[in-house]
Amino acid sequence: MQLSNDVKRQLEQFHLGQLYNSYDYFGAHPFTYDGEEGVLFLVWAPNAEAVSLVGSFNYWNDQADPMEQVTTTGVWGRFFPGITTGEVYKYKLFLPDKRAIYKADPYAFYSEVRPETSSVVFDLDTYKWGDNQWMEKRQHFTPYEEPINIYELHLGSWRMKEVGKFDNEAFKSVDPASFYNYREIADQLIPYLKEMHYNYIEVLPLHEHPFDGSWGYQVTGYYSMTSRYGNPSDLMYLIDACHKAGIGVIFDWVPGHFCRDEHGLMFFDGTELYGDIDHPQWGTKKFNFYKSEVRNFLISNACFLFEKFHIDGIRVDGVTSILHLNFGLDHSPYKNEQGGDEDLWGIQFLKELNLEIFKRYPFAIMAAEESSSWPMVTHPIESGGLGFNYKWKMGWMNDTLDYIELDPLFRKGSHDKITFSMHYGYSENFILPFSHDEVVHGKKALIDKPSGEYEDKFKTLKLLMLYQMTHPGKKLNFMGNEFAQFIEWRYYEPVEWFLLDYEKHEEHRQFNSLLNRLYIQEKSLYQKDHDPSGFKWIDADNRDQSIYVYARKSSDDALTVVLNFTPVTYNDFRVGVEEPGEYRIMFTTKHAPYRIKRYSYIKAEPVKMHGQDYSLPINLEGLEGLVIKKKKALRKKQ
């Protein structure tokens, strides 16, 4: 078959690494050829001697429909008339060593439900979106000055129809009948998000993956959203519904490595076409970032998610593994051309990615999960940075969790685990994560991390949540954290919703709902997250009492935060304030209703404290956190 000159020119751009809508060409697309309607298949396999299209439409006959080389650069094509959405297919590649292998389509838009591995023809352009208002509004979105409160979830285990039903008991492969459909999830999830005052979701990877226990982090289909929960139109419905409810959607994305399953990218055309470095810890292959086609495949995939699924942001998983050639290896066999460990092409890929995404989608959240001290992750590329606009603050998370695990008696010896985060607080633009990674693999659930007895654990967890919400940086919490689930997250079981029948857990959920609302409503808690003028230590040095006092500020308002990390109560504790006037405690972790509506004002007294000329006498209970706000003067009528 003959491709048009325009298509051939576009495919040349793919080989140059500049065809960022390559998904419009590769894969399976409705097409009209010589007056006949059907599907056009294109695949890149430069080292194959021959390729055949096989599927349900030709009874898997590998001689019936040989593909033709439509370019001199290894692109194979075949038009098949008379087929539409729902046809199942693969490519059979004949190799120079006389072997033949079956491969799923790297650009497939839909796949069979695992353990089946074939690709499925699907037209992505049939869904009728209803999120025009959101799409228009987000063009003017400025994330640095807005509240971003993210609910991280794994769609399969947020809720399930049936618990404990497995296809494979040993590997805990969940029976697909246990999963809710994307549409069913939307109808349950969105009212809950609204009630809890989350304004973003971040979904663990939805790209097609063969093993439930990988949580989606070992991908076989980058353009195929997992069929476990329905088809692509069903997922579009979920995102559409989120947008109509004012909720943004962030996808977790895994461009650093791919899994080794035979039908996937591994040895795709008999060679290590997509990746050649092993990740022994993960059992995966690292992408060949030095190949322009591979960088194009991945950057195009990111654009695809924004374009076809209307997502609002991407959390890029495993950035550290992209930056280093020898990540996860016990020794360092790989060196770059300068003799170092840095993956220079991986660095180039990340810069290209961010340049292209922000050129096309300036509203996007591009968050790096980068666990080392690599500098300037969120700095502009022209200034030497990687070009992300957010980085997960892993050091803050580790220090904070280490601190609360200590017996309160010994917290004074680790006082700087809390204060240290502000020493580098403005080196990057940060998201503060208590993510899925912190509640698995023996690390214990969040409620089980604090030292102390049952009651003290709940008090400390409330204090921890208040600290997170009042610390500079955007917020992220994993499902189950909001109501203090006591067991670690298990991908094969739903979150333990039955705990809400118990007073302590339902009370904790209500507390987090009120705290989230406080965060969304108070500009001082988000407007200057990345501006040093938005934070001021009032007392950072009270290690003997393990009490911290600081101010959060917006352009026209301020809050004072007091955190007591020991069980000791103080009936006449003084908090320094900058100005005279009347103040009120507007939020407490002490007891319901937490958010105090009946104003009881405390007059600042001319008693010097914490380097301030005025101070407030307050009662501060053990393991209590407070948010204090000054009474605003009433404006006089003109």
Active-site residue set: 317, 369
Place of tokens 């004949």: 94
DSSP conformational letter for 130: -
Strands 558-564 and 547-553, bridge-based pairing: antiparallel
Nearest CA to 601 among 611, 622, 616, 621? 616
Identify the H or E element spanning 81.
strand 75-81
Phi/psi at 123 (5° precision)? -95, 110
Residues 6+ away with beta carbon under 8 Å from 131: 239, 240, 243, 244, 310
Nearest CA to 353 among 302, 287, 290, 289? 302
Q: Give the number of residues written for the chain.
A: 638
Strands 547-553 and 582-588, bridge-based pairing: unpaired
Decide: helix, strand or coil at residue 531: coil
Q: Is the Cβ–Cβ distance between 113 and 228 less than 8 Å? A: yes
Buried b (16+ CB within 10 A) or exposed e, 266-288: bbbbbeebbbebebeebebbbbb
Nearest CA to 470 among 370, 549, 576, 399? 549
N- to C-terminal Cα distance for the chain?
A: 79
Strands 474-478 and 149-153, bridge-based pairing: parallel
* Amino acid (1-letter code) at residue 389: N
Nearest CA to 221 among 124, 111, 86, 56? 111
**Dihedral (C-alpha) 436, 154, 122, 167: value to the nearest 10 degrees?**
110
Strands 207-208 and 221-225, bridge-based pairing: antiparallel
Q: Which residues pair with 390 in a beta bridge?
A: 367
DSSP string across 537-551: EEEEEETTTTEEEEE
DSSP conformational letter for 66: B
- Token pair, residue 420, equals 């240290």
Q: Is the Cβ–Cβ distance between 178 and 161 less than 8 Å? A: yes
> Distance between CA 353 and CA 306 in Å, rounded?
13
Phi/psi at 531 (5° precision)? -125, 120
> Distance between CA 317 and CA 367 in Å, rounded?
9
